[in-house]
Amino acid sequence: MSAPPDLPDVVLRAFDVCRRAGYVSFCRNETGRLLATLAATRNGVMAEFGTGCGVGTAWLRSGVRDDEARILTAERDPKLARAATEIFTEDPLVDVLTADWSTLRDKGPYSLLFLDSEQPSEVGVDAIADLVETGGIVVLDDFWPCEQWPPLDGNRVDTLREQWLTDERFTAVEVMVASDSSVVLATRR
């Protein structure tokens, strides 16, 4: 996808932290740019399930327009959470929680929810729907683009993607961010 090569400062700081921690499991820049673009449409509280070393959080932060928005992100691995905290120590708009994402259940509803915890069984629509405000957006990362229905993951029906794309509580779409990667965007009705 076309994109200018320059990255926001906060994202560069996150990459520095990742390099020092030897961490590579972060969202790709294409997804990051989408997160920033969506964050720029939001007020209120956004959340991320699975901080890693803070790259996705940094992309979200880069899109925030004003002091009206906040970002909560939860990472259950204390080393990773500590590393991500470094990026945002002086940022009152971002809280990195060293915790299972279930901690975030009590802190919503969210205007945007980035689900990136690598635990598909925990991010089904029923578990998530009530955490999102009306008009709130859910972003699910890391799908292999699929042009058929039902969507496949390898040789099996991808029931998570199928569920998100058909649930009546959301208007949803799968969007390719690169030739080998897609995300699902779902807006709460």
Query: Would you count residue 75 as binding ligand SAM (CB under 6 A)?
Result: yes
3-state secondary structure the chain: CCCCCCCCHHHHHHHHHHHHHCCCCCCCHHHHHHHHHHHCCCCEEEEEECCCCCHHHHHHHHHCCCCCEEEEEEECCHHHHHHHHHHCCCCCCEEEEECCHHHHHHCCCEEEEEECCCCHHHCCHHHHHHHEEEEEEEEEEEECCCCCCCCEECCEECHHHHHHHHCCCEEEEEEEEECCEEEEEEEEC
Q: Which is nearer to ligand SAM, 144 or 149 (CB)?
A: 144
Query: Would you count residue 118 as binding ligand SAM (CB under 6 A)?
Result: yes
Contacts with ligand SAM, 88-117, as mask; x by CB under 6 A? ------------xx--------------xx
User: CB of 168: closest distance to ligand SAM in angstroms?
Assistant: 27
Q: Of 7-26, which residues contact ligand SAM (CB under 6 A)? A: 25-26
Query: Would you count residue 162 as binding ligand SAM (CB under 6 A)?
Result: no
User: CB of 103: closest distance to ligand SAM in angstroms?
Assistant: 8
Question: In the set 11, 17, 29, 56, which binds ligand SAM (CB under 6 A)?
Answer: 56
Q: Which is nearer to ligand SAM, 116 or 174 (CB)?
A: 116
CB-based contact 97:54 (threshold 8 Å) = no
User: CB of 74: closest distance to ligand SAM in angstroms?
Assistant: 5
Strands 156-157 and 132-143: unpaired
Q: Which is nearer to ligand SAM, 26 or 110 (CB)?
A: 26
Query: Would you count residue 119 as binding ligand SAM (CB under 6 A)?
Result: yes
| Token pair belonging to 77 | 């691995």
Contact residues for ligand SAM (CB under 6 A)?
Answer: 25-27, 48, 50-52, 55-56, 74-77, 80, 100-101, 116-119
